[in-house]
Structure formats: structure tokens, C-alpha cells
Amino acid sequence: MRKTTLVAAGAALVLTLTACSGGSTTGTAQPAAAGEQTQAQSQGLASPFTDAIQLASASKQGTVKSKSAKFTMEGSAAGQSMTASGAMSMEETDTKFSMTTTAGGETTEMRLVDKVMYLKLPADQQKQAGPGKTWAKISADGTDPLSQAMGGMLSQSAEQSDPSKMLDQISKTGRIISSDQTELNGEKVNHYKVELDVAKAIDQFTGQVPAAARDKLTDMLKGKDIKLPAELWLNKENLPLQVTMDQGPMMQARGAPGGTDAKFTMKYTDWGTQVDVAAPPADQVVDLGELIKKAGR
């Protein structure tokens, strides 16, 4: 069985969550021009926050209240483009979502429920999985190498896939570079540019790495001046409408060639929409480890 689809889809999921949960920053924002502020305030948009902690707190209140959203993701890593679209439900201790990803030319449907990822198998792989088996699962307690590598990341990423977590971390590892008031898709928004300083809290950037590689990566990053640029667009309720991050500097610090592209854009719509995500029926699911064993890999 080809594992390309499963690996690509899993990578897309992790990168999607990483794009949401990102890093962080403290500092002051540059206020918008007086004319822009007046016009924006007349439409219910407050002046940009000048304190990152206040920014994080206000945004978290908005996302906790809304609890759900639809999203799309576009990005690239190591020359491979990735896209995703879906819907997400964000409870305090449980995140669920369903989405369709395209990575490496392969499209995969997936669901995240109770910190277990379910991947819809292509028709040719369903035959190898067995009668009625249309889904494979990856869980944190899986025994196969891929599950062991990705399971921990999924569990931790699930807790951080709420986009407000990026803002929550803003008070810990960096600074707000600037802010302005502008329009995004015809809606007035506060736009923030931030810079994430990896050296200030390396653990914030290695928590989703498999334990076996975490110490090595931590040592690799120590002493390096790594700054990750990110941007956020928040509406008048301080809900994220768009988040971008460039993880290229991190990839290069880990040995990737200079100029490595690792940029991601997350877009959110329909905050507060009803989102119902359920795990596939158990009799339709095969464990990824068993599927790989059956394929003789």
C-alpha cells in the first residue's frame, strides 16, 4: 500500500494546526492614522490594542464565546503546496474538526475527534484495508512508527488548534511590530504584524515535536537568533479572520536550505456556526498500524 496519501494528509493536518497555534509576542502597536480610526470606530471597530496581553485576552474571549468557525488554509513547505478547508468546533478541553486537504497532488478527507485523526482511504487502499473499511485512524497511543511520530503532535495540536491560542502565546515570546486599520474582504479590521522570538521560549516551538527528537531540536535551536514573522487580522469582535505565519527561518535553523518556503495562511469565516463532527462508525475504521502491517511495510 502506498503511504503517500496518509503521510501527506497527516503532515497537512499538523501544519494546519501549527499555523493556527503558532508562537507569540509582547510589545506596543503603532496606532492607526486619526482619520482611519474615526471611520473605523464609527463602524464599531475599536482602536488597535497597544498591549499584547490585552489583545490576546480580548480575542480569546471572542473565540471562546463563538466556539466554532469554518476555515481554509493555503501554504507550502519544502516546495510542496498544501490547501485545506473545513469546519472546527473549539470547546475548552476538546477540539473537533472535519476538513479536506490537498497535498502533493493527493486529496484526503479527515476528521479529528477526541484527539484521534481519521483519514478517508482512497478506493484502491480500501480494498487492502478489508471489507467495509473506509477510514484509517492515527491516535496518540498507536504502536506503529507513524502514529508514534504524529500521535503526540496531534494530541498537543488539538489543544492548540483554537486560533486564539496563538494570541494567548503572544504575551510570552515576542513583540508586536506594528498595527493599522484596514479592510479585509470589505470588512473593517485591525491588522497586526508580529515577530516571534524563538529564543525567548524554545519550548513553545518544540512542544509538538515527537519526544525522541525534541531534545535534539532544542539543542539545535539554542543560541540562534530566530524570528518568525506573522500577521493577524481581527474584526470588531476581535475574532481572527486571517492569520499568516512564515516558518521558513525555523526550517532553515533545522538544516533546510536557505530560502526554504514554509508560509501558511489561515482564513476563518462563519464564527459561531453550528459544527457537528463525529467519528466514523467503528466498523468502518482500521488502525493505521494494522494497515501498514497488512501492506508488508
| Secondary structure letter of residue 26 according to DSSP | -
- Chain segment 83-117, per-residue pLDDT in tens: 889 998 887 667 788 989 888 788 889 898 887 88
Decide which of 199 and 193 is more confident. 193
Which CATH number does 4-294 carry? 2.50.20.20
Cα angle 61, 86, 244 (rounded to 5 degrees) comes to 60
Where exactly are the structural domains of the chain? 4-294
Predicted pLDDT of residue 40: 45
Kindly give, in sequence order, each residue whose CB lies less than 8 Å from that of residue 3, ignoring residues fewer than 6 positions away. 146, 292, 295, 297
In this predicted structure, which of 103-112, 131-140, 206-215, 217-226 has the lowest mean pLDDT?
A: 206-215
Long-range contacts from 152-155, C-beta under 8 angstroms, 24+ separation? 152/208, 152/210, 152/211, 153/14, 153/208, 153/209, 153/210, 154/13, 154/14, 154/112, 154/115, 154/116, 154/117, 155/115
**Residue 126 in this model has a pLDDT that exceeds 90:** no
- Nearest-5° Cα angle at 153, 169 to 162: 40
pLDDT band at 186 (very low <50, low <70, confident <90, very high): very high
> What's the confidence (pLDDT) of residue 65?
87
Residues 25, 17: Cα–Cα separation, whole Å: 19
Whether the pLDDT of residue 70 is over 80: the answer is yes
Q: Which of 75-84, 108-117, 123-132 has the lowest mean pLDDT?
A: 75-84
pLDDT one-digit tens code per residue, 26-50: 333 334 444 444 444 445 898 998 7
Which region, left, alpha or beta, applies to residue 13 given φ > 0 means left and ψ of -120 to 50 means alpha? alpha
Q: What pLDDT is attached to residue 20?
A: 41
Region 119-128 average pLDDT: 83
Instruction: With a cut of 80, say whether residue 56 has pLDDT above it.
Output: no
Across the chain, what does the average pLDDT equal?
A: 74
Residue 78's pLDDT is 61
Which pLDDT does position 250 carry in this prediction?
75
Q: By C-alpha distance, which of 15, 165, 24, 25 is closest to 90?
A: 165
pTM of the model: 0.77
Judge contact between 127 and 117, C-beta under 8 A. no
